Structure 1
Amino acid sequence: MKVTFKQAVAVAALTVLSSSALAAEHVVEMKNSGADGAMVFEPGYVNADPGDTVKFVLVDQAHNSTSVEVPEGAESWQGEINEGITVTVEEEGVYVYKCTPHAALNMTGIIQVGEATNYDSAKKAVDTLTESAATNKDRLTGYFEQVQK
């Protein structure tokens, strides 16, 4: 069977479209108050698949989302204060992030994508953020306990 150039392009296009159609969007709200207390990302733990997007939505003013630890090969991000940001998580591993102005209040979160390939470095980032937090010290460690090796 002979495949024409047009057929090959059509197959490639369908492959790309079908893989992006399977990707999920996870919404994380940036809030002054939520189920886990004051100054919180909700939910604080997200389990995603490679290619999914995580959309950080500003519910209350003066928040952002900034990566602290990402898996090898993954892109870090730094959202602007008072703006949402959408991040596509392509690489497997643990992504640790914070709200820059509220890091001292442990406004932090975890995204796990597939296997926790960077478990040890993510754990170090969690420990560092938790040690420097003035309040909510159990919050990030609680999220990290949900990470599956």
Structure 2
Amino acid sequence: MYFRCITKAVIVAFGVVLSTLSVAEEIKIEMLNYGKDGGMVFQPSFVKAEVGDVITFVPTHAGHYAQSYITPTEQSGWKTKMNEPFSLELSHEGLHLYYCPPHLMMGMVGMIQVGQPTNLELVKTKVGRLKSKVALKPERVDALMQQIQE
């Protein structure tokens, strides 16, 4: 009887610990010729994630890839390959601002917020230069900036 009570207590304690642990999430971002926000888009274009989550870029339509413009200071920049899926493990808090090089002028931009926007001031100083290269739909850059949660 004594061992049964201890066993139950250990199982309950283990369950409580497991329920409080954060489980990494895989988040998919599609690269599309046309999506719910129009032509040449990442869908979703803004993602709120946590450290440890994995972002997978999915080339749903051909002719796309993604390249980082700004990343959290501690995380290296990245560039996917044309028409190939790419997974990125989010290792530090901050903002990732990225774009599709062949379609930047058409407003194919996206942002990932990992936890707190620790590099927000850097993003604010550099976002204007990226926006100046967007000929069609420059408001997409503004829309990304408005979604940042401080």
Q: Which has the larger radius of gyration?
A: 2
Aligned mates of 2:56, 2:45 — CA distance in 1: 13
Structure 1 outlier segments of 4+, above 6 Å? none
Aligned mates of 1:105, 1:93 — CA distance in 2: 26
Question: Identity across aligned pairs (percent)?
Answer: 35
State the TM-score, normalizing by the size of structure 1.
0.83
Question: Which residue number in structure 2 is paired with residue 83 of structure 1?
Answer: 84
After superposition, the CA RMSD in angstroms is 1.8
Q: What is the total number of aligned residue pairs between the two structures?
A: 132
Deviation at 1:124, TM superposition (A): 3.0
Map residues 4-43 of structure 1 onto 2, 5 A cutoff.
22-43=23-44
Task: Tell me the alpha carbon deviations over residues 22-57 of structure 1, each in whole angstroms, 9 at most, x when there is no partner.
Answer: 100111000000111110000000000001000000
Gapped regions of structure 1 (runs ≥ 5) = 1-17
Question: Which residue number in structure 1 is paired with residue 3 of structure 2?
Answer: none
Question: Which residue number in structure 1 is paired with residue 114 of structure 2?
Answer: 113
The code of the aligned residue for 1:135 comes to L
Question: Which residue number in structure 1 is paired with residue 70 of structure 2?
Answer: 69
The code of the aligned residue for 1:34 comes to G
State the TM-score, normalizing by the size of structure 2.
0.83
Gapped regions of structure 2 (runs ≥ 5) = 1-18
Equivalent residue of 1:63, what SS? coil
Equivalent residue of 2:129, what SS? helix
Equivalent residue of 1:132, what SS? coil
Q: Does structure 2 conserve the Cα–Cα contact (< 8 Å) formed by 1:106 and 1:129?
A: no
